[in-house]
Amino acid sequence: MPNDIAAPTAISMAELLRARYGAAAPANTVPGNDVIRALVSHRSVRAFDADRALPAGTIETLVAAAQSASTSSNLQTWSVVAVEDAGRRARLSEFASKQAFIRQAPLFMCWLADLSRLDRLGTAKGRKFEALDYLETFMVAIIDAALAAQNAAVAAESLGLGCVYVGALRNKPEAVAAELGLPPHVMAVFGLSIGYPDPARPAEIKPRLPQSLILHREQYATKDEPAAIAAYDGEMKRFSARNGMGDTDWTSRVVSRVGTAAGMSGRDRMRAILNALGFELR
Amino acid sequence: MPNDIAAPTAISMAELLRARYGAAAPANTVPGNDVIRALVSHRSVRAFDADRALPAGTIETLVAAAQSASTSSNLQTWSVVAVEDAGRRARLSEFASKQAFIRQAPLFMCWLADLSRLDRLGTAKGRKFEALDYLETFMVAIIDAALAAQNAAVAAESLGLGCVYVGALRNKPEAVAAELGLPPHVMAVFGLSIGYPDPARPAEIKPRLPQSLILHREQYATKDEPAAIAAYDGEMKRFSARNGMGDTDWTSRVVSRVGTAAGMSGRDRMRAILNALGFELR
């Protein structure tokens, strides 16, 4: 098409799969195409070129991609706040483990599980929509938000931009809600920092667990899991060493992240916080 | 690249946006590219060519795309069961509102929120991982599963396949868990039926709410919501009429879907069901 601005990945599918899986790369995939190579090429970018602005229309394009994702029963129980203001990004960064890239990247998209739109519609119709009080409907909203955000992330990367999800936006949900002016029944599920990657600090594709652990055929099975995890620990140790992150393996990172409730950065309070934000979670 | 098997969308970005938003189409997007046009072209396919098998390696390719999506702290708290067996698809269809396309499409991928892998790892290390008992960590798992699934859906569509998410897989989670042999701390979040679309029954791009309602700048705002919803009700009424779904508007569908707990197809029990599946949701 004319005016295309994509940079298709020049790396072959086989090379990408080796980067993604190391020695455990599957050999039997289909040849792939530009879209699939773009997906498999993903790496989270945490170092941005703070001086390079996004082209006009970028946000509208990302939102069009996001809204094109599936949404449960077409309920569209999500919204997004696009934050460009540097002061607001700095404040949100403080709430999210002070991560520097939120200040650095020119755009911070806050993805919202949003049941308030339907709640307002119910009020306008003179009734209370009962399903909004249930855990199930909250799950619908966070799934809707996640599907939408992933389309936006894929679209951003196709434009040569880099991005990184920010789950730490859930460390202080009440403070984030106040900063973004969120009404009740809305929660910022995660952020997405978006900008041009800093060419001086390129990110590497991160290895994942082998398909043998993630993909089950017909029924769930766990055979050879310890050996596969040990091999993956080796891949992650080498990845971490190459990327100046020490020589920590996957298992150690898991232990520090989920071993104790104290390691949850306050998110062990999530149920009470969601109740306070108007989600009854029945 | 050689061996590419993608069919890039020949429709222009402007035409796609008109299909997606009707009169409310944003005029100021960037020109787009093959990836973005593929995303905006999405339509859920519910009529499949049951006789056309998937190319060898399709599942491995979709899983490679799925695993390339971001995952919170690289915890990878998801798995997928690829169901091809016709008998099992028929049984799962029974649990999921008897939707016929689950039997028709050759592949049904069941996306799992999976905290059991980390639980087994903890057991192997002789300790209990405390964070696994919290609502927050369950949210991590369903977000992980959703990001992964969306990459698989985008990859499938780039291969000329069609797909549809099946939230009704949550109508009977215990029955689904038994059919798929799921251990405790695992839940099937949704299904994804995948196959070649039936060329005799093409699907149309479904209109979405205007960006003015979904996209907020700097802070959440609700101005002109009732008028925008009324306009969207008109778009959806025309879409429904064109597609043999009556002339129901969006608001009416919302009311029937979330108006009452009885309309939740049993999912009002979700919290108790999740507890029974081993998720404490503290």
Q: Summarize pLDDT for B189-214 with one digit per residue, the tens.
A: 999 999 999 999 999 999 999 999 99
The residue in chain A having the minimum alpha-carbon distance to the alpha carbon of residue B11 is A1
* Residue B275, number of CB atoms within 10 A of its CB: 11
Q: Is the pLDDT of residue A1 over 70?
A: no
Q: Is the CB of B209 inside 8 Å of chain A's CB atoms?
A: yes
Nearest residue on chain A to B127, judged by CA atoms?
A259
Neighbours of B94 (CB within 10 A): 15
Inform me whether the C-beta atom of residue A26 falls under 8 Å from chain B C-beta atoms: yes
Does position B276 have pLDDT exceeding 60, yes or no? yes
CB contact under 8 A, A85 and B218: yes
Subunit contact B31:A5, Cβ cutoff 8 A = yes
Interface test with B, best of A17, A39, A187 (most B CBs within 10 A): A39
* Helix (H/G/I), strand (E/B), else coil: B114: strand
Amino acid identity for residue B87 in this structure:
G
User: What are the beta bridge partners of residue B163?
Assistant: B194
The mean pLDDT of A5-24, rounded to a whole number, is 84
Interstrand relation of A78-83 and B215-217 (parallel, antiparallel or unpaired)? parallel
Inter-chain contacts counted by CB atoms under 8 A, chains A and B: 430
> pTM of this prediction?
0.97
Chain A residue with CA closest to B72: the answer is A167
Distances A62 to A148, B3, B203 between C-alpha atoms, Å: 9, 29, 23
pLDDT at position A8: 59
Per-residue pLDDT band at A209 (split at 50, 70, 90): very high
Phi and psi at B30, nearest 5°, equal -70, 165
The C-alpha atoms of residue B197 and residue B106 are separated, in whole angstroms, by 11
- Which A-chain residues 135-194 have CB contacts (< 8 A) with chain B? 135-137, 139-140, 142-143, 146-147, 149-151, 153-155, 158-159, 164-165, 167, 170, 180-183, 186, 189-190
Report the DSSP beta bridge partners of residue A164.
A193
Closest CA to A61 of A158, A189, A146, A191: A158
Which residue of chain B has the CA closest to A144?
A: B146
- The pLDDT score that the predictor gives to residue A31 is 87
Q: Is B200 exposed, middle or buried (0-12, 13-18, 19+ CB in 10 A)?
A: exposed
Mutate to test the interface with A, among B68, B71, B84, B189 (most CBs of A within 10 A): B68
Alpha-carbon gap, residue A144 to A147, rounded angstroms: 5
Please indicate whether, in this complex, the C-beta atoms of B44 and A78 are within 8 angstroms of each other: no
* B1: pLDDT strictly greater than 70: no
Measure B104 CA to nearest chain A CA, in Å: 17
Q: Quick check: ipTM above 0.90? A: yes
Q: At A50, list the tokens.
A: 């703070």
How crowded is the C-beta side of B146, counted as CA atoms within 13 Å?
A: 27
CB spacing of B64 vs A261 below 8 angstroms: no
User: Domain map of chain A by residue range?
Assistant: 8-43+204-248, 58-201+267-276
pLDDT band for position A6 (cuts 50, 70, 90): very low
CB A56 within 8 A of CB A49: no
Contact at CB, B151 and A39, closer than 8 angstroms: yes
Interface of B with A in 89-108 (CB under 8 A): none
**Taking CA atoms, what residue in B is nearest to A68?**
B40
Q: What is the mean pLDDT of chain A?
A: 95
| Coil/strand/helix, residue A11 | coil
Cα B273 from chain centre: 21
Q: Determine phi and psi for A9, rounding to 5 degrees.
A: -65, 130
Question: What pLDDT was estimated at residue B92?
Answer: 98
pLDDT score at B55: 97
How many residues are given for chain B? Answer: 282
A206 touches chain B (CB under 8 A): yes
Q: What is the pLDDT confidence band of residue B8, given thresholds at 50, 70 and 90? A: low
Q: Decide if pLDDT at A3 tops 80.
A: no
- Please give, rounded to a whole number of angstroms, the shortest distance from the CA of A200 to a CA of chain B: 22
CB-CB contact of B190 with B167 (8 Å): yes
Whether the per-residue pLDDT at B4 is higher than 50: the answer is no
Q: Place B31 in a pLDDT band, splitting at 50, 70 and 90.
A: confident
Residues of B in contact with A89 (CB under 8 A): none
CB contacts, 8 Å: B88 with chain A: 218
Chain B neighbors of A124, CB-CB under 8 A: 226
SS3 content of chain A, % helix, strand, coil (to 5): 50, 15, 35
Strands B162-166 and B107-114, how do they pair? Answer: unpaired
For domain A58-201+267-276, the CATH class is alpha beta
Q: Regarding predicted confidence, which is higher, B247 or B1?
A: B247
Answer yes or no: is pLDDT of B2 > 90.
Answer: no
Contact A132 B8 (CB under 8 A): no
Cβ–Cβ of B67/A151 closer than 8 Å? no
Q: Which helix (H) or strand (E) segment is B62 a member of?
A: helix B58-67
Mean pLDDT score, B20-40: 94
Percent of chain A at pLDDT > 90 equals 94
* Torsions phi, psi for A112 (to 5 deg): -110, 130
What's the pLDDT tens digit per position in A108-143?
A: 999 999 999 999 999 999 999 999 999 999 999 999
Phi, then psi, of A143 in degrees rounded to 5: -65, -45
Q: How confident is the model at residue B247 (pLDDT cuts 50, 70, 90)?
A: confident
By CB atoms closer than 10 A (0-12, 13-18, 19+), residue A150 is: buried
Q: Is B113 left (phi over 0), alpha (psi -120 to 50) or beta?
A: beta
Determine the Cα–Cα distance for residues A88 and B52; give it in Å rounded to an integer.
52
Using a CB-CB distance cutoff of 8 angstroms, which residues of chain A are in contact with residue B6?
33-36
Banded model confidence at residue B5, pLDDT cuts 50, 70, 90: very low
Chain B contact set for A189 (CB, 8 A) = 139, 143
A279 vs A22: CA distance, rounded Å: 43
Q: Distance between CA B206 and CA B219 in Å, rounded?
A: 28
pLDDT in tens, A56-90: 999 999 999 999 999 999 999 999 999 999 999 99
Over residues B53-98, the pLDDT tens digits come to: 999 999 999 999 999 999 999 999 999 999 999 999 999 999 999 9
Q: Which residues of A touch B131 (CB under 8 A)?
A: 257-261, 263-264, 268
CB-based contact, B15 to chain A, within 8 Å = no
